[in-house]
Structure 1
Amino acid sequence: MKLKHLTLRGFKSFADRTRLDFASGVNVVVGPNGSGKSNILDAIAWVMGTQATRSLRTEKMEDLVFAGTATRPPLPRAEVSLTFANDESLMPLDFAEITITRRLFRDGTSEYELNGVPCRLLDIQELLSDGGIGRQQHVLVGQGQVGEVLNASPQDHRAVIEEAAGVTKHRGRRDR
């Protein structure tokens, strides 16, 4: 499973529609302070289902919607789409590409879509888990997190490995 591209509109500092294409392998986002690098990582985590505002560096979900500037009015919603190549069929859907979209409106309501079809957060989480990306999203390493990973306890390392290997997913389904 490979991340192909990310499309943002109205998410934090990204007022205009912005598309980022990703190459194979490791991708690194660089730029000057305040250019939106961390917001890109926040957008990826958010569209994949993150609910914790603290991890998105905000106080409430509504703060994710572009708030406007002196020259631009606030937008009514934030929208982020993440497209994966499913060439290896790691995700259990019969599509070559899978696009996950999440929208958040100013009134706090949100909606999710899989390939343009409305769905639930649980559907997104299960799909990503089946594709090897668990709820903790260990595939995303933000600024300052490298040291945390290196200095984590053996129990925390085990939890990361179990989630990456899919053990956590099966344990959760067994316990239901």
Structure 2
Amino acid sequence: MYLEKLEIQGFKSFAQKNVLVFPGYMNGNKRRGITTIVGPNGSGKSNVADAVRWALGEQSMKTLRGKKSDDIIFSGSDKKGQLGMAEVSLYLNNEDGQAAVDYSQMVLTRRLYRDGNSEYLINDSKVRLYDIQMLLAKSNFGQKTYSVIGQGMVEGFLNTSLGERKEFFDEATGVKQYQIKRDESLNKLVHSLENLQQAEMLLTEIKPRLHSLTRQVNRLQKRDELEIELNDLQFNYYSQLWQDINDKFQEYNQQFLELEQQKRQKEKKIVLLNKDLTKLEGDRTVSREFNDLQQQLNRLQSEKDKLNIQLHKLEARLEVKLENSGNFDLSLWQTRSQELKQEVDSAQQEMEHLQTVIKDLTAKQQKLITKQTDLNQQWQGLNKELSAVREIVDRPGSGLSQQVTASH
């Protein structure tokens, strides 16, 4: 694994984006060339090495020749203002699979913003600093190894103590990854020990109030049990109440349906009775015909009486004349008497016929009157029952109107 390309933007003196491409294998051999950066003092040669070290995860500002994190962000010049971000990307060739990733090229990117926020990315995916340190440690490629020799590091290496030299050798021999894991485990153990100490302090502080807290917990548990029991009782009570209300609703609904059916039947009967009454009103002509026949009968009866009186007078006069003058003009009187008797008989027959017709009409009239009386009684009864049904249905406090409204 080797460095192919370096991109720097906003880091120290690199205001613009700068790209440094390093050579690979030369002439097909397994040897790579050497890249040398030359320039006058203050041109930024050491900043290139610092950029590589910073991108690999260096946290010491002293090693990066700075005092605070803002010092590594371009602070501005006469021609260009200061920038708000510093970014360095390392393009590493991983065709030999030295790094434990499934990529032939690995891009390590580190960004730092002026507000203090920072980002670490591997192939444009955000990661933690720990992930980068472990990946570089497993690949024997780190910011403190022989891979990056900064300004003054050789002299510093010769002047370091045995313990500091051991760190360089540990990283070079590949045991740095295990040291990182060991340090992380030790830090976790330290944090766990601190948490245990805090827990012991809390237990010591809480122990005097343990009995009081126990009683409160028991009360809360009892309260929960009573609350559950109360909920069950409320559920059973309201369930029974709902069942009763539902049964009453079904009963009222059935009563309403029955009353509604009775109402419709009675309304149909009233319609039929109204038709019959209309028909009876049309049959009043029978009564008028009866009155006319009655008047005609009375007139014939009067004529009959007049004819009978006239007949008796004629018979009396006939008898007197016969006594006075014998049989004089007897045939004329007999003929006249016979004619009068025929007229009387004819009137009698017509009168009997009229009496028969009047009798029939009287019977028919009596039946119609009786039927009309019955129909009027039925119509009045049905009106009373219909009014009672409507009063029950429309009564505000009866419950039926509310149930019917709810059902609709």
TM-score of the pair, normalised by structure 2: 0.41
Instruction: Flag the 1:69–1:97 CA change in 2: closer, same or farther, 3 A.
Output: same
Q: Among 135, 159, 168, which residue is 2:167 paired with?
A: 159
2:124 is the counterpart of 1:124: no
In structure 1, the partner of 2:4 is 4
Structure 1 Cα separation of the partners of residues 140 and 37 of structure 2: 23
What is the CA deviation profile of residues 91-121 of structure 1, one whole-angstrom value per residue up to 9, with x for unaligned ones? 0001010000011111111101000101111
Aligned length: 176
Q: Which has the higher strand share?
A: 1
Q: 1:131 deviation in Å?
A: 0.9
Q: CA deviation digits over 1:123-151, x for unaligned, max 9? A: 11111111102452331112222233345
Q: Secondary structure at the match of 2:66?
A: coil
Inter-CA distance 123–17: structure 2 relative to 1 (3 Å threshold): same
* Structure 1: segments with no counterpart, 5+ residues: none
Task: Indicate yes or no: 2:86 matched with 1:78.
Answer: yes
- The 5-angstrom pairing of residues 101-120 of structure 1 reads 101-120=109-128
Query: Are 1:54 and 2:54 matched, yes or no?
Result: no
Q: Is 1:38 the counterpart of 2:27 in the alignment?
A: no
Deviation at residue 154 of structure 1 after TM alignment: 5.3
Mapped to 1, the partners of 2:113 and 2:160 lie a distance apart of 37
Note closer, same or farther for the CA distance 1:75–1:33 as it changes in structure 2 (3 Å cut).
same
How far is 1:70 from its partner?
A: 1.3
- For the residue of structure 2 that corresponds to 1:129, the secondary structure is helix
Between stretches 82-91 and 138-147, larger displacement belongs to 138-147
Percent identity over paired residues: 41
Once structures 1 and 2 are overlaid, which stretch shifts more, 41-50 or 137-146? Answer: 137-146
Whole-Å separation in 2 of the counterparts to 1:131 and 1:60: 30
CA shift at 1:55, angstroms?
0.6
CA distance in 2, matches of 1:134, 1:19: 21
Partner of 1:22: 22
Check the 8 A contact 1:77/1:106 in 2, yes or no: yes
Farther-moved stretch of structure 1 (143-152 vs 18-27): 143-152
CA displacement at 1:171 relative to structure 2:
4.1
The residue type paired with residue 91 of structure 1 is A
CA RMSD between the two structures: 1.9
Q: How far apart, CA to CA, are the structure 2 residues paired with 1:99 and 1:44?
A: 12
Per the TM alignment, residue 22 of structure 1 is displaced from its structure 2 partner at its CA by: 1.8
Q: TM-score, normalised by structure 1?
A: 0.90
